[in-house]
């Protein structure tokens, strides 16, 4: 497996629950390293731009409203097979369907307030990382 980077966001619900550290521990225990990070309260334009692929979906407005409801914690994770590994740690989009022990099963409340975002492909990871971090703010470790 190749060394990859993926974009992770701890969403406003999980930041409000004060579980940033517990989620970071899961990344670390799975062998994913934090190589960039920042806390940010996204503007509407930033959230709309980030989720532009979902523009035509019925849940788009609710998704944007939720993502700007409070600060988020944004990080780049690096490790072997990081994109899929992070998706496995996250669990299914709907926490009711998320496997026991996954981040969403343990910390998410609903399909809207579902605790975390993770890039869904290596190609999208590169786009999403560049959306939030200039290359000089991502640190090789
Ligand atoms: P994410 O992008 O946040 O990591 O989540 P995901 O890949 O598991 O799910 P995706 O299909 O990309 O959807 C993005 C976010 O939109 C909300 N959503 N709501 N009501 C619905 O049917 C519905 N479907 C998706 C979720 O909050 C999801 O995380
Ligand atoms: Mg997605």
pTM exceeds cut of 0.95: yes
CA separation (Å) from 131 to 52, 110, 123?
A: 12, 26, 13
**Residue to substitute in 87, 93, 95, 128 for testing ligand 1 pocket (most ligand atoms within 8 angstroms of CB):** 93
Ligand 1: nearest atom to the Cα of 53: 12
113: alpha, beta or left, given left = phi > 0 and alpha = psi -120 to 50? beta
Residue 141: pLDDT over 80: no
Higher pLDDT, 57 or 140: 57
What does CATH list as the number for 3-137?
3.30.70.141
- Alpha carbons 33 and 27: distance in angstroms, whole number: 7
pLDDT the model gives residue 1: 79
Residue with tokens 């492909």: 121
Model pLDDT for residues 11-38, shown as the tens digit of each residue: 999 999 999 999 999 999 999 999 999 9
Percent of the chain with pLDDT over 70: 100
Average pLDDT rounded to a whole number, residues 96-120: 98
What is the 131 CA–ligand 2 centroid distance (Å)? 15
């Amino acid at each position: 497996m190749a060394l990859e980077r993926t974009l992770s966001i701890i969403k406003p619900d999980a930041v409000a629950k004060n579980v940033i550290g517990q989620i970071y521990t899961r990344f670390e225990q799975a062998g994913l390293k934090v190589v960039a990070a920042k806390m940010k309260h996204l503007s509407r334009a930033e959230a709309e731009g980030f989720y532009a692929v979902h523009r035509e979906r019925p849940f788009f407005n609710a998704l944007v409203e939720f993502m700007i409801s409070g600060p988020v914690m944004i990080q780049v994770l690096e490790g072997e097979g990081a994109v899929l590994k992070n998706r496995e740690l996250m669990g299914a989009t709907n926490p009711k369907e998320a496997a026991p022990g996954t981040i969403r099963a343990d910390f998410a409340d609903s399909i809207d307030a579902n605790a975390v975002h993770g890039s869904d492909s290596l190609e999208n990871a590169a786009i999403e990382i560049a959306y939030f971090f200039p290359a000089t703010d991502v640190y090789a470790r």
